[in-house]
A and B are shown apart, each in its own frame.
Chain A
């Protein structure tokens, strides 16, 4: 079935550093891919999505490109801020199309 693997954390960066969080997937067909973010004590917020191969999702300076050749959907940001500190989840729809499958999450900590 469909699955997603994301890099283990935590990721610790200084403010204005470049961020990459790796996400790779296994899927039948080309399901939509998502990045969600969870701030401390809160639920999940949709950060960005891509619905087909070669699509680039972007939001709040974050970007991710749906790459079918490498089955990847890596999250990037050129200059992180302290306020970006959170847990980031990569997700895709399961093979039956009935639910989201999430990666284990990557904790990002940004210091000033």
Chain B
């Protein structure tokens, strides 16, 4: 069974731009969660989607948004990029509940210049 895939793997943007990251979960998994990883803050939860609905949300500004499609694939969008948004963005999928074991993708490395 294929693992979680994320595209693109690397992105370079400038301040003020927006960016969209994509995540395809493991086949059969319906829950998709997003995390931001930075050296200073570590791993922080962004949001979780299930059946095309945002079910849970972390403590991030409204510039961070996401969606999930009927095939469980998910995208996250960051608008008006700031230097501090430079991070590794990780997507994780689980079967049903966010409390189920989460399986992570390789991440998208975003650099904001």
Interface residue ranges, A against B (CB under 8 Å): 31-32, 34, 36, 42-46, 49, 89, 93-94, 96-105
Task: From the candidates B6, B90, B99, B102, name the one contacting A97 in the complex (CB within 8 A).
Answer: B99
Contact of A46 among B35, B103, B107 (CB under 8 A): B103
Number of interface residues, chain B, beta carbon within 8 A: 24
Q: Are A98 and B56 interface neighbours, CB within 8 A?
A: yes
**Contact between chains at A49 and B99 (CB < 8 Å):** no
Which B residues are CB-close (under 8 A) to A104?
42
B104 touches A43 (CB 8 A): yes
0/1 per residue, B1-31, Cβ < 8 Å to A? 0001010000000000000000000000000
Chain A residues, CB < 8 A from B4: 43
Nearest-CB residue, chain B, relative to A97: B99
B residues in contact (CB < 8 Å) with A: 4, 6, 33, 35, 42-43, 45, 48, 55-56, 58, 88, 90, 92, 97-99, 101-107
Docked pose: A102 CA to B45 CA in angstroms: 9
Question: Which B residues are in CB contact (< 8 Å) with A99?
Answer: 33, 45, 48, 56, 58, 98
B106 touching A42 by the CB < 8 A rule? yes
- Chain A residues positioned under 8 Å from B98 (CB to CB): 93, 97-99
Q: Binding site of B, secondary structure by majority: helix, strand, loop or mixed? A: strand
Q: Tell me the smallest distance from the CB of B46 to a CB of chain A, in Å.
A: 9
Chain A residues lying within 8 Å of B55, measured Cβ to Cβ, are: 98
Q: Which residue from B45, B97, B106, B107 sits with its C-beta under 8 Å from A100?
A: B45
> What's the least CB distance linking B24 to chain A, in Å?
13
CA distance A105 to B42 in the complex (A): 8
Given contacts A43-B90, A98-B56, A102-B43, 7 further A-B contacts (CB under 8 A): A42-B106, A44-B92, A97-B99, A99-B58, A99-B98, A100-B33, A104-B42
Q: Which residues of A contact B104 (CB under 8 A)?
A: 36, 43-46
A97 to B56, CA, bound (A): 10
Which residue of chain A lies nearest to B108 when distances are taken between CB atoms in the complex?
A43
CA distance A102 to B33 in the complex (A): 14
What is the CB-to-nearest-CB distance from B42 to chain A, in angstroms, rounded to a whole number? 5
Q: Of the candidates A43, A46, A100, which one forms a contact with B105 in the assembled complex, judged by CB atoms under 8 Å apart?
A: A43
